[in-house]
């Protein structure tokens, strides 16, 4: 039986809630910043609900949740970003992420497009020994825009390779980014989404990283039959 060989793709990942579970560290950052002005901490659930649109919007939501004067926003953002680079204590990769990245890297070019600021993103990737998997990391403080604007995804994909771009993420923001970029979107259902899976546009959804290589193979297979199957969304 002839072995199927996949075309090389540019597989771009979101970071928080997709490759790593980092909400406890982000909650620590938020509460450490709030403690600087004597404001009550936010809960883990609140932290998760604020994640996904970048540090400035996280801080804006945090301020609204604690009725902090808007005049404090710039100071809190400054403190948030300062502590963010130290936030590595609780973060960890989701199960099977390392094994799957090793498998994918053998045949594809990998990158990260996240709304997390670049320096904290690079710091946590290095701390978790994930940095060597990726040819390019684009943070939310890039000169283009933040997701769901598709430009950071375009730039990341162009930097890692010229193969088919596939985006892997966990949230509504990631789904909208892929939609605007007109690229396949693989939805990790166990991250920080706020909406039921069936209401988030996606090409495929997976709850375990063990499933990801098969979906990538379907979308990069040279077989016409496999390519047809790969275009069938897993939900309406």
Q: Which residues are catalytic?
A: 14
Radius of gyration of the chain (CA): 18
CA distance 110 to 161: 8
Burial pattern 183-197, b for ≥16 Cβ within 10 A else e, equals bbbbbbeebbbeeee
Task: Give the CA angle between residues 157, 194, 188 to the nearest 5°.
Answer: 45
Per the listing, tokens 């502590």 go with 83
Listed in sequence order, the DSSP H helices in the chain are: 23-35, 44-50, 55-65, 73-84, 97-105, 118-127, 151-160, 172-181, 212-220, 224-230
Contact (Cβ atoms closer than 8 angstroms) between residue 113 and residue 16: no
């Amino acid at each position: 039986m002839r072995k199927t060989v996949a075309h090389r793709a540019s597989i771009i990942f979101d970071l928080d809630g997709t490759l790593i579970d980092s909400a406890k560290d982000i909650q620590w950052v938020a509460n450490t910043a709030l403690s600087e002005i004597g404001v009550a901490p936010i809960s883990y659930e609140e932290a998760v609900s604020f994640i996904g649109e970048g540090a400035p919007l996280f801080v804006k939501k945090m301020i609204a949740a604690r009725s902090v004067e808007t005049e404090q926003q710039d100071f809190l953002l400054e403190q948030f970003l300062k502590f963010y680079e130290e936030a590595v204590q609780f973060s960890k990769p989701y199960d099977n992420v390392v094994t799957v990245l090793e498998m994918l890297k053998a045949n594809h070019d990998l990158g990260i497009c996240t709304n997390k600021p670049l320096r904290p993103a690079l710091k946590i990737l290095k701390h978790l020994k994930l940095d060597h998997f990726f040819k390019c990391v684009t943070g939310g403080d890039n000169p283009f825009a933040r997701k769901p604007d598709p430009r950071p995804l375009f730039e990341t994909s162009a930097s890692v390779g010229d193969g088919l771009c596939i985006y892997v993420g966990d949230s509504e923001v990631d789904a909208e980014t892929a939609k605007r970029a007109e690229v396949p979107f693989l939805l990790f259902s166990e991250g920080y989404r706020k909406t039921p899976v069936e209401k988030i546009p996606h090409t495929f959804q997976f709850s375990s990283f063990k499933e990801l290589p098969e979906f990538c193979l379907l979308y990069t297979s040279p077989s016409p039959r496999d390519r047809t199957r790969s275009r069938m969304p897993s939900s309406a």
